[in-house]
Chains A and B, each alone.
Chain A
Amino acid sequence: QQPVQSPQAVILREGEDAVINCSSSKALYSVHWYRQKHGEAPVFLMILLKGGEQKGHDKISASFNEKKQQSSLYLTASQLSYSGTYFCGTPPDSTLGRLYFGRGTQLTVWP
């Protein structure tokens, strides 16, 4: 039930854009996105609920397509501070108190 993230790694120059995808073989009730810098704890970015909504956090936004069972995280005009590993997390159903996390996408932004 672990969601699948792609790509596994991305290398960018400052100012470039990136897209990270998260897909599931099962129905998605919501999608969580977290970022983890090296040696630190994961930090919450945003949650997307059913309805195909988009959310934003600074220059980071995301979309959720429940029919396609996938979510995408968009990083525009990347900054050095965006470097880290991005994880998506999905609950197995609408009631249970847990998330299954993807294996992560490592994003490196160079000056």
Chain B
Amino acid sequence: NAGVTQTPKFRVLKTGQSMTLLCAQDMNHEYMYWYRQDPGMGLRLIHYSVGEGTTAKGEVPDGYNVSRLKKQNFLLGLESAAPSQTSVYFCASSSWAVGNQPQHFGDGTRLSIL
């Protein structure tokens, strides 16, 4: 019953450092998403993927890169972290028929950039 698993759960970085957030799902879902959540802003889509080897930009993609080499994994990278990227990051997945299929969320990664 793992569902969507995010690692790490917490991380503190210094400005300019890089890191990768990992999302893994065991539901064989085609679609995967990365969101960031800031107070009062709701969930904003960073990047998403509609299948292995494909990625696309969301609403707030600047400063982030993603890769989906395997269907079950979706990686979010910060090449040069900035304080504005301090946020809670959620990964989600859904099966192909997005209009009528729910998104399943991981527990989130709380990232602070000093």
Which A residues form the contact surface with B (CB < 8 A)?
Answer: 2, 29-30, 32, 34, 40-44, 47, 49, 87, 89, 91, 94, 96-104
Q: Which of A41, A98, A104 is the one whose CB lies under 8 Å from B108? A: A41
- CB nearest neighbor in A for B49: A97
Residue of B nearest to A30 (CB): B99
6 contacts between A and B (CB under 8 A): A32-B103, A49-B100, A97-B31, A97-B50, A98-B45, A102-B42
A54 CA to B35 CA in the complex, in Å? 28
Residues of chain B having any CB pair with chain A under 8 Å:
30-31, 33, 35, 40-45, 48, 50, 58-59, 90, 94, 96, 98-108
Interface of A is mostly: loop
> Separation in Å of the A73 CB from the closest CB of chain B?
15
- Which 9 A-B residue pairings sit nearest by Cβ, starting from the closest? A44-B102, A41-B105, A103-B42, A101-B43, A97-B31, A97-B98, A30-B99, A97-B50, A101-B42
Establish whether residues B45 and A40, one from each chain, have CB atoms under 8 Å apart when the complex forms: no
In the complex with contacts A30-B99, A41-B107, A91-B99, A97-B90 CB distance below 8 A: no
Knowing A41-B106, A43-B105, A97-B94, the reply to whether A2 touches B42 (Cβ < 8 A) is yes
CA distance A42 to B106 in the complex (A): 9
